[in-house]
Structures are given as structure tokens and as C-alpha cells.
Structure 1
């Protein structure tokens, strides 16, 4: 494989030495050291799966008399990484496999974004919220707000607020039944509020409280978390950031009822992509897209 290049990275592969799993033989180590010397390679990449991690030290020692740079590139292809990077913790080198982007200055910036944009939007929507509250009160008996515990950042529960869109009813044994098309529990006003996402407006109070963000993965009911966490890989990692009023999944059409496992897997995939690629500019883009295409959605019942 001499002369193979990696486009755009500035590397040309001088050669490949394949290592069988298990104990590495002395002859293999000698051949590897000899090939590094004769090829003039400036770097040696040790690319092995995690279960072969014990051979790294052996290879590293075999190359002790060579000046080539040595890199360990573990194989993580079967793992769903999140904000992976190298770091130093308490004097030890660490490979961070699943990390939140909201640490240090990023956490401060995200919170300032929520405070300033959330406060501005709250002032703008106050007359709308007042009108909706009056309409709910006069159109059906029951409270104006619907309150329900959801899972927030780091798995902590919090009480989320919405405008009530259903008739007052009781669920059996803590069961949470998602609203479906033609659901008789949904009021006429509630159907409009859900279709336009206006029922979500009270969550700006959750944002100002610091329990939610304007942008982030949508919070699911606690019962849904318990059900899906063992069915969807990395499901609970979506809780590494605060839940949001809108998110990357929602502006890509993944909102409303998640009545199949495939739908939930797609939503989680988009949520994790957002966490892995977070930036202020991405948040602003999602807010912009929400205003122009996120409010009306045929999947919201």
C-alpha cells in the first residue's frame, strides 16, 4: 500500500503492517521496526480496536529506538461518540467518549443567549399569551396551564409548563398516552394551539428559570424515557444539555407523535447531532427556521 494518500489531510501512507488479534509475535515487531526505518516514515499510527489495547505498549516499546512520531488511534466505529476529544484530568491523559458541550465558557454563553433572547421573546408574546389564557378559561373548564414533570439536563426532573390543550382527564397507573390524530381529549382550541405550537409558549418561563433552553432536545414524558432508554442506543445522552422549546429534530420535521421506534430513533439521531455540533450560530439558525417553518406542522395533534 506504499504511496496511498489521504486526500485533504496531507498524509501519504508508506505502508501497512497488519496485526492479528492476540499476542503479537517478536518477528512481527522486528519486521515493523525494520519497515519504519527503511521506508523513512515520519509517523507511526497504531490503529487497533479497544480489545487489543494491550499491544499498544508492546509496539511502542519496539519503536523506542526510532524518532518517528507515534500516534494511538483506537477504533471506535461501533460506539456512538459525543463531543469526543483528548483531555488531561488530574494529571492523567483521558479519551473523552461522551461529553456535554455545555462546560466552561460555552455554558455561560448558552445561558446568556437564553436570558437575552428569552426575555425579549417573552415581552413580545405576552399579549398573545394573555389572549390564549382568556380563551382557554372561557372555552373549557379546568386550569389554564398544563404541568408535567420531564427529564432535564443531567437526568434531573423538572416541571414543564404548557397551555392546556385537552379536556381534564385522568391517566391510569401513571401511564402517559400521546395525543393522536382525532384524539377526543383535545379541545377545538387545543387542536389549534398544538398545530401552531402556541401551547409551548409558557415554556419561556422555564427558560428564564434556567431549567430549559430556547434550543435543545425536546423534553419527553418520564414514562417515555423509561420505555425508550433500553430500546434506542444513546437515548439518555440527549439529556447532556438542557431540553429546548425547539430543536434540530423539530425544524427537520421530527415533531409530534412518536408512535414507532423508528420515529424515536430518528429524533434521537438529530438530537445527538445537535449536541455534537452545538454553536451559537446553530442555535440562531434553528430559531430562524422555527419562526418560518416550525410553528405549523401536520404531525402535531
Structure 2
């Protein structure tokens, strides 16, 4: 079953995959160097807030189903996962809402979380994942293992490409688009992935972040 599904996935050219990886390496190195002052400032702000860890890592599913830890600046309580799962009713709502909760209902948030999320500054450490080859600058947003169920038999198509820090779902509304519609949006990228389409999504995402569409 898995082999037949994989055969249906459009094969990307070697040139496209190679050029995309080169762009990922150069882009992530440049970003990490240029944004190092921002990393320092944000680290100090988060550390001074509650004395906890600066970074948050969460298991996500990558290309070909390989799991990895995605990094973010910590915008939640350190035991965020345990806090959420302790309230079964709230956790069920979290899953039903596309693995998201409105900021005012989320017990995991810190006082600076809303600002970090609104500006997408919490996502900056993902350039580390990109440099390591676990993510790409552009691609479907990395999902937690439980979200794979939303894709059904189409999960093989999703896992045929690297997840990205920027993607079509993020560029077209983020939290305003939940499952099952999100599946269609993410898989549309897989079908259309190309060098020029990646650039289009790159600039669309920057505009979305600037407008703060779907950020909570």
C-alpha cells in the first residue's frame, strides 16, 4: 500500500532539489548571522521573564516520515505539553481546532507569547533545522505525529517533501485555515512545487506575517 501511494507522488527534478538545498544552506547561514543580535535580545527577554529555558523543542514529522525536534523560542510554560493534556476537554478542543487554541483560552501561554506569535519571532530558531537539513525555507508546515491522521492515505504525498518554515498554509491564513481544508492547501504546494513557486510563497508569507494574518 505504501509503495503504491509513493508511486503516485510527483517526482521532483534533481536540479530543483539541489538548487533548493543550496538556497536553504545559504539562506539559513545568512539569517543566523544577520539575526544573531535579535537572537541575543529575545533570549535575554525570555530568560528574564521566568528564568526558564530560552528554546522550546517539539517532535515533528519530516520528509519520508523521519521525526525530528523543531526549535522555537519558548513562548509557553516549560511544561506546556503536560498542562494541555491534563485538561482532556481542552485537549480535545485543541485537536478539533486544528491543533491550535485561541490565546485567551490557552493555559500554556506566557505574557510575551502573544507578541512572539503575532510577529512570528518565535519561529526564528527554525533556521537551525533548515541548516541541519531537517526543514526547508519553503514547504508544508511541519506537523506533530498526531496530525498525520488528518491526511489519511494522502500522508505519503505530504511526507514526500521536506517541511518548511514558510508554506502555502502559512501564506494564506495560518490559523484561519484548519483541517480538513489545511490538508488540501498543504498538498497543493506539493503538486505545484517549483523554484518559482517557492519564491512566490516566500514573498506571500512575508506579507502574511507583516499583516499578522491568522496569528494567535
User: C-alpha deviations, 1:153-202, integer Å up to 9, x for none?
Assistant: 011101110111111225249x9754422123211211111111111100
Alpha carbons 1:165, 1:193 under 8 Å: kept: yes
SS at match of 2:180: helix
- Pair 1:180 & 2:91 matched: no
Q: How does 1:55-70 map to 2 (within 5 A)?
A: none
Corresponding position of 2:198: 283
Which ranges of structure 1 fall in alignment gaps of 5 or more residues?
1-81, 84-95
SS at match of 2:159: helix
Alpha carbons 1:179, 1:257 under 8 Å: kept: no
TM-score for the superposition, normalised by structure 1: 0.60
In 1, the alpha carbon distance for the partners of 2:151 and 2:190 equals 18
CA RMSD of aligned residues (A): 2.4
Q: How does 1:45-194 map to 2 (within 5 A)?
A: 97-101=8-12, 103-169=13-79, 170-171=81-82, 172=85, 177=94, 178-181=99-102, 182=104, 183-194=106-117
> Greater helix percent: which structure?
2
Corresponding position of 1:274: 189
SS at match of 2:59: strand
Larger radius of gyration: 1
In 1, the alpha carbon distance for the partners of 2:125 and 2:205 equals 16
Alpha carbons 2:16, 2:195 under 8 Å: kept: no
TM-score for the superposition, normalised by structure 2: 0.82
- Pair 1:238 & 2:148 matched: no
Distance 1:265 1:115, change over 3 A: same
Corresponding position of 1:248: 168
Which ranges of structure 2 fall in alignment gaps of 5 or more residues?
none
> Greater strand percent: which structure?
1
